Structure 1
């Protein structure tokens, strides 16, 4: 099941959110520790669905929780125009649900080079944003596996919606490798598994160098032969000319062919399986009126693919960049 409507649990959800500290960023470790305890009080329908997705995933590569209680639009602050968020900003409902649901799955993680090392990210349109940034709006944000070039890439990307775009045009696109691999012939799959390919990195991870080149190496497919993991970025992956390049082109087309679009509306929380999907966002038109599209994003690590190497990690930790080689 890719979508779960939780409207029937509205009052219980509000009760759980109210038990969290009122100002998350004053002591984020404590905030997430409380969220972990509250995650044990989720309605069985919700907790069982989260646990099943965490254990085996699904064919679609995402789980959408719909109908969460979000503040009325006039009660929300204006959509942000800068980052990071003020430390003293009071808790918002969708931030609360990212905490509780995220702790049911694993550990919230910040990346030192990204968004000043913050764990919670506001996602909003920004004039003149780099084309690889989530702050773009009027151009397509291309397909990417989040931080596929990072040794400790997140297991899950979680997106929660407080405001949709005015025209309800923006869609989050998700392409699942569990679907796409069925469209590929055996030779193409073997080539995708065969060698690591050069991969550039996002601007935040370039160490201030304008163009450091392909400093990482990523296998487009890896892991179990009968259930492959995906390392794909349409902008940053630079496969070697020849068979590798041709195989990645076929993979790209297959991912396009199985893509699903999700319209995020206020009260929606989307969990993307970042090891078995690639995702993108369609263009939309901001109005710069304080009521533009506003999502909240967190990254979750689990130990399912070795993202917790020391065993002593804690929700709220901030880690530094190590490129895949």
Structure 2
């Protein structure tokens, strides 16, 4: 393995021998567990993650602890394009596709669990932990990850929510057009100290994005024990946040190297605070200048530090022919306990 600091990304490159070790681990996972959503697997996943090659563990722990970059790329894992089957038409009807890509989901979840605990939302993709990121007919121009024609504007994932992920992870299964995932690290966003101090004050409104709203629940069933009764509660919470949003800072932590929570599409520009709006405009323009793009290849993992970077996606033309861009997504928390009031049990992985 090679571990290095790129200009904008921290990179972990798997060697052939490390891939062999990982394949052996994945074979054992497939023999013991049906899917990554199985309760038994989730109880053991953080232990099994330490069966990954030591250099994989060292690299991801370094990314977590030292914050060398806003994005970490893991390369070298192979994906058989034929074996994973066609890109699903919709996440709600992807049961067969999830079975075909179980190997990839085990690998993805094991690596992600070195950064924290994977979790899902009752209000997203039926409470599933592993999300399908793919174009859906009728969503082409929307600000949602199932869009295609529209640029997915840069954002902190679930910026509005106090229990948002510490890391958002993507795994590429298919990217025939080389569509770029976009990102900007706060280290590359240059604004004055005065602007940072204004942005660190609770003067801004972040509204829930489209993906959490009930009209995007999809036709599939709600997955996971206890999720059927809590799903309506989750949507009720979203509606309360839409009606009565709280003001929040955009920057927080050490202002010399701040953390961020901002969705450029879901921030409220209609507030009576000229100074705050001016600082926000300066910051947004600085992020726009810092945006870079990366075209993920099959098998690659991209871990975005959701406190230190924002991300989005370039537009592309979807063919809806079974060969469209197809990624997997995971949310990762460094402290799952802080969301205990929004989970059904201490070991529950779904936040409502």
TM-score, normalised by the number of residues in structure 1: 0.88
Mapped partners of 2:64, 2:318: distance in 1: 35
Q: Offset of 1:160 from its aligned partner?
A: 0.3
Work out whether residues 32 and 99 of structure 1, in 8 Å CA contact, stay in contact via their aligned partners in 2: no
**Residue of structure 1 aligned with 2:268, choices 214, 228, 238:** 238
Partner of residue 323, structure 1: none
Equivalent residues in 2 for 1:52-201, closer than 5 Å? 52-59=62-69, 61-70=70-79, 72-84=80-92, 85-86=94-95, 89-129=99-139, 131-164=142-175, 166-168=176-178, 170-180=179-189, 183-201=190-208
Residues 214, 249 of structure 1: alpha-carbon distance in 2 compared, 3 angstrom cutoff: farther
SS of residue matched to 1:109: strand
Work out whether residues 221 and 228 of structure 1, in 8 Å CA contact, stay in contact via their aligned partners in 2: yes
After superposition, give the CA deviation of every residue in 1:192-219 in whole Å (9 maximum; x if it has no partner).
112231121113434486x945624331
Residues 64, 50 of structure 1: alpha-carbon distance in 2 compared, 3 angstrom cutoff: same
Equivalent residues in 2 for 1:294-305, closer than 5 Å? 294-303=326-335
- In structure 2, list runs of 5 or more residues that go unmatched: 214-234
Mapped partners of 1:35, 1:280: distance in 2: 29
Work out whether residues 198 and 214 of structure 1, in 8 Å CA contact, stay in contact via their aligned partners in 2: no
Work out whether residues 125 and 293 of structure 1, in 8 Å CA contact, stay in contact via their aligned partners in 2: yes
The structure richer in helix per residue is 2
SS of residue matched to 1:131: coil
Mapped partners of 1:141, 1:214: distance in 2: 26
Q: Offset of 1:272 from its aligned partner?
A: 0.4
Equivalent residues in 2 for 1:204-243, closer than 5 Å? 204-206=211-213, 207=235, 212=242, 215-239=245-269, 240=271, 241-243=273-275
**Residue of structure 1 aligned with 2:314, choices 263, 282, 290:** 282
Please tell me the root mean square deviation across aligned C-alpha atoms, in Å: 2.5
Mapped partners of 2:56, 2:242: distance in 1: 44
| Higher alpha-carbon deviation: 80-89 or 248-257 | 80-89
- In structure 1, list runs of 5 or more residues that go unmatched: 321-325
SS of residue matched to 2:172: strand
Partner of residue 231, structure 2: none
Q: Offset of 1:107 from its aligned partner?
A: 0.8
SS of residue matched to 2:328: strand
Mapped partners of 1:204, 1:294: distance in 2: 17
TM-score, normalised by the number of residues in structure 2: 0.81
